[in-house]
Amino acid sequence: MSLDEPKGQIAFTLNGTDMSLAAAPTTRLSDMLRNSAGARDVKVGCNAGDCGACTVLLDGEPVCACITAAGQAEGRKVETQAGLVGADEDALRLAQAFQRHQAAQCGICTPGMMVSAIALLRSGEVLTEDKVADALGGVLCRCTGYRKIIAAVLDAGGAAPTDDAPADGAVGAPVARLDGWPKVSGAELFGDDVAPADALTLRVIRSPFHRAGFTFGDLDAYRDAAGLDLILTAADVPGENCFGTIPGFEDQPVFAEGETRFKGEAVAAIVGRAEALATLPDFPVTWEERPANLTPKGAAQAAQLHPTRADNLMCRGLVRRGDAAGAMAQAAHVVSGDFSTGFIEHAYIEPEAATARRVGDRIEVQCCTQAPFMNRDGLAGILGLPPEAVRIVPTATGGGFGSKLDLTAQPFVALAAWKLNRPVRIAYTRTESIATSTKRHPSEVHMEIGTDETGRILAARFDGTFNTGAYASWGPTVANRVPIHASGPYLTPNYEANSAGIHTNTAPSGAFRGFGVPQSAVAQEQLYDLLAEKLGMDRLDFRRMNCLTNGAPTVTGQVFDTGMGIDACFDALKPAWDRALAEAEAFNATHADRKRGVGVAGGWYGCGNTSMSNPSTIRAGVTPAGDLILHQGAIDIGQGSNTVISQIFAEALGVPVSQVTLIGPDTDVTPDAGKTSASRQTFITGNAARLAGEALRSQILRLGNVGEGAVIAFADGAVELTEDGVTRRIDLPQAEGYALEVVESYDPPTLPLDENGQGEPYAVFGTAAQMVELEVDMELGTVKLLNFTAAHDVGRAINPLLVEGQIEGGIAQGLGLALMEEFLPGRTENLHDYLIPTIGDVPPVQSIIIESGDAHGPYGAKGLGEHCLIPTAPAVLNAIAHASGARIHHLPATPDRVRAAILAARDQATA
């Protein structure tokens, strides 16, 4: 058949409306719904039935639209999230419950979750947690940890629809997400939801080998024969064919030149109509596979990846304090061990996507991102344009966790749209996303810790090697951060920590929630358990005795007079700890095949970038009509910055948060609020928002010549100021643009580190202690998690429900790191071989919010992104050891590894 042959008509009912669409009947139902019917609330996360984001009801039953033929919908009823919420009482009630519980974070899985839950609600079954889990088990979520989703569905099973999610409230109130309703109603637009109908599609040609030389055939002839609009290679990059994230370490080409350095690296891109791309002959490239090195072990002998980096050493990090070797020699008790972790994939449910269009001499890119200004500047360098000529308009971002900081799809579409002067789109496939996006660094750690006779830590030595992959990305950050954090939140007077980032022929390792700190905690916190065991001390008491307190120096010599709250975190766990230990002991006395254990771990994390300026700027204005506008550029990838920043701003201004209208993010209209990373937005952008709110308040009070205590309200064309029971109306100036406007910035105070890594790298540390109860099947090595108790010092909880959401989501990622996740280059490039926790894998989480305040944070608030997963994996591993005697050094603790460790421990016990 020819491409021009008319497609058949498929008649079906979509959300109650009869449809007849021209679509190929064998195409995926998800494609037809999105592209022909315009139902962009049907999300595509994997095209393989692995993630459930595309779930729709087909004649009332949940199915994955991505693995259903469009023609199979003929004559049938299709319902999607947006249609259901618009017309179905169960769905409306569910949407309201999702808002009330903050069950949507980024929102990309929400359509699949809600559609699946609606089928359950309609069944009329009596709801239990198990039934909810069974019904929603086919939908993956990477943000929430599922607990709030379960709560929302159970809640929706009850009463009549009530729109009672708190829409207002000051700092400290669990205000519903200000950006939540689009996510629960199906209106939210993500990276692949915004492309115009006339956009051309781009596809990337990628290396099938870990390392290869390549030569192209006749590209022009191929382009013409295939009916393509454009082929891009390195030769088509007008600026620098190079990007990166850390100054001095920009080393990644948009298109490889001469040799590819990892499997999946781009060498070319093709652009054309989607139909032309569907049936293409093989791309004219000849590959010459070359020897590749995938681990740091062989790196010094392997071919050098970058000319200036001998032995494939990217960089090193060091923190040295006191005399670690001397003190270790004097220690009464010393433990040491080797630990390793593998590549961890971010596995956000939204694959990378971008659309670009040329507007005169500027290029505009809509994309999911965590760092719009960094993306802007990176694209400007690639395109050879000034930064002002590049506009980044972020869409909703369906999860990021660090990997959507880096440029991925944006350069390709920007180059193509620039050349063609037509809109160009791309959405990565799941395989493409996993194969090419940055990863958590694999780690190989040797660590040694010594105490005196009473159990006080005397010294710690840490040596960590991190596989940074083919390009630097955020590798230097990992190398810097790890030595600062590898002591854990404990007083360690003598300390030496060395780190090294090593290049290999794998996808680049970059930023992933913790920048290497979760990996170092796996070593340090397990060794702490071994020390407590040696000392015959309770493991929680041992940590409590050694933890940092106000006034005690960190390993970089930094002293906090306030806000070091890890002692309070451990204290908060004590009642649950004692109960859990007693319960485990009682259980174990009567069970042989299954054993219960309890594990604890602490963690800390410096908020913001390490020892460098990283300011945020917030702009706000009042229109002549009296509308209050907040230009909020801190990207909300689900964590809640749209809500938190608005709450802080409203508090400082002294108005209800419901008065705030959010604008942005958009590099043309929102000032630079920096990156959404390193737990910096609440702290740094929050401070900018506080300053902006205070400045605007001062302006308004001056305008009315009223005192500090006056109450501000906005009316039509005026501000109303109430003081001492008297309300005055002040007409707003009728200006172009804003009648009143403020722009405020905040940059955290830090000091550089000296040659021994001594200094003040962060203005704020957040701390956490988590404990887990679990059960190990001694015969099969399987681990069943029973309960988490998580105490987090957040300084001040701006929005406690968002805090809980971060904790639960971090725990879910941490337990994935501990138990199941490992990316193997070239092998686990899909979501059925690369496993992340499902709704049945995350047990109840009891969050304990500690509010110890902070000297710098807005209203005392600290950041809370990375902290939530740092203690999780070591707590799980410590509990496994407590239950079974099996100490897992090399992650993940899959059933085969746990069983092997159980058998090894038994052999050792009987030897």
CB of 894 to other proteins, least distance (A): 6
In DSSP terms, 773 is beta-bridged to 598, 787
Instruction: Identify the DSSP state of 30.
Output: H
413 binds other proteins (CB under 8 A): no
Beta carbons within 10 angstroms of residue 49's beta carbon: 17
Residue 413 or 831: which CB sits closer to other proteins?
Answer: 831
Beta carbons within 10 angstroms of residue 423's beta carbon: 20
Rg, Å, the chain Cα set: 28
Q: According to CB under 8 A, which one of 2, 17, 20, 26 is a site residue for other proteins?
A: 26
CA distance 14 to 551: 64
CB of 570 to other proteins, least distance (A): 31
| Cα maximum dimension of the chain | 88
Q: According to CB under 8 A, which one of 96, 99, 110, 116 is a site residue for other proteins?
A: 116
CA distance 730 to 714: 10
> Residues 691-730 vs other proteins: string with x where CB under 8 A?
----------------------------------------
Residue with tokens 């994955």: 64
34 binds other proteins (CB under 8 A): no
Contact 573, 540 (CB under 8 A): yes
Q: Which 865-894 residues touch other proteins, going by CB under 8 A?
A: 894
List, in sequence order, every beta strand (DSSP E) within 724-830. 726-731, 740-746, 765-777, 783-793
> Residues 118-137 vs other proteins: string with x where CB under 8 A?
-x-------------xxx-x
CB of 275 to other proteins, least distance (A): 10
CA distance 706 to 282: 74
Instruction: DSSP for 625-662, please give it.
Output: T--EEEE--S--SSS-HHHHHHHHHHHHHTS-GGGEEE
**Active-site option among 804, 821, 851, 866:** 866
Q: According to CB under 8 A, which one of 779, 844, 855, 904 is a site residue for other proteins?
A: 779
Residue 68 or 767: which CB sits closer to other proteins?
Answer: 68
# residues contacting other proteins (CB under 8 A):
64
CB of 754 to other proteins, least distance (A): 45
Contact 344, 375 (CB under 8 A): no
Q: According to CB under 8 A, which one of 171, 202, 305, 835 is a site residue for other proteins?
A: 835
CA distance 887 to 899: 11
CB of 206 to other proteins, least distance (A): 13
Q: According to CB under 8 A, which one of 11, 16, 74, 162 is a site residue for other proteins?
A: 74
827 binds other proteins (CB under 8 A): yes
CB of 526 to other proteins, least distance (A): 21
CB of 276 to other proteins, least distance (A): 12
Q: What does residue 272 show for φ and ψ, rounded to 5 degrees? A: -175, -175
Closest by Cα among 447, 468, 467 to 457: 447
- Only one of the segments 68-76, 214-222, 491-499, 758-766 lies at the binding site for other proteins (rule: CB under 8 A); that segment is 68-76
Q: According to CB under 8 A, which one of 782, 853, 890, 906 is a site residue for other proteins?
A: 782
Q: Is 651 a catalytic residue?
A: no
Q: Which 429-488 residues touch other proteins, going by CB under 8 A?
A: 429-431
> Residues 240-279 vs other proteins: string with x where CB under 8 A?
--------------------------------------xx
CB of 16 to other proteins, least distance (A): 21
Q: According to CB under 8 A, which one of 13, 35, 36, 69 is a site residue for other proteins?
A: 69
Residue 308 or 908: which CB sits closer to other proteins?
Answer: 908
28 binds other proteins (CB under 8 A): yes
Residue 3 or 735: which CB sits closer to other proteins?
Answer: 3
Sign of the CA dihedral 267, 44, 813, 246? positive
Contact 111, 53 (CB under 8 A): yes
Q: Which 36-65 residues touch other proteins, going by CB under 8 A?
A: 47-50, 52, 55, 58, 61-64
Closest by Cα among 409, 485, 491, 480 to 455: 491
Q: Which two tokens stand for residue 334?
A: 């010393």
Residue 51 or 165: which CB sits closer to other proteins?
Answer: 51
2 binds other proteins (CB under 8 A): no
CA separation (Å) from 563 to 560, 705, 767, 790?
A: 7, 37, 9, 18
In DSSP terms, 10 is beta-bridged to 21
76 binds other proteins (CB under 8 A): no
CA separation (Å) from 158 to 60, 85, 96, 148, 360?
A: 21, 17, 12, 16, 55
How far does Cα 392 stand from its chain's mean position?
20
Which residues would be at the binding site for other proteins (CB under 8 A)? Answer: 1, 7-8, 24-28, 47-50, 52, 55, 58, 61-64, 66-72, 74, 116, 119, 133-135, 137-140, 278-279, 429-431, 779-782, 819-820, 822, 824, 827-828, 832-833, 835, 837-841, 894-896, 899-900
Q: Known catalytic residues?
A: 866
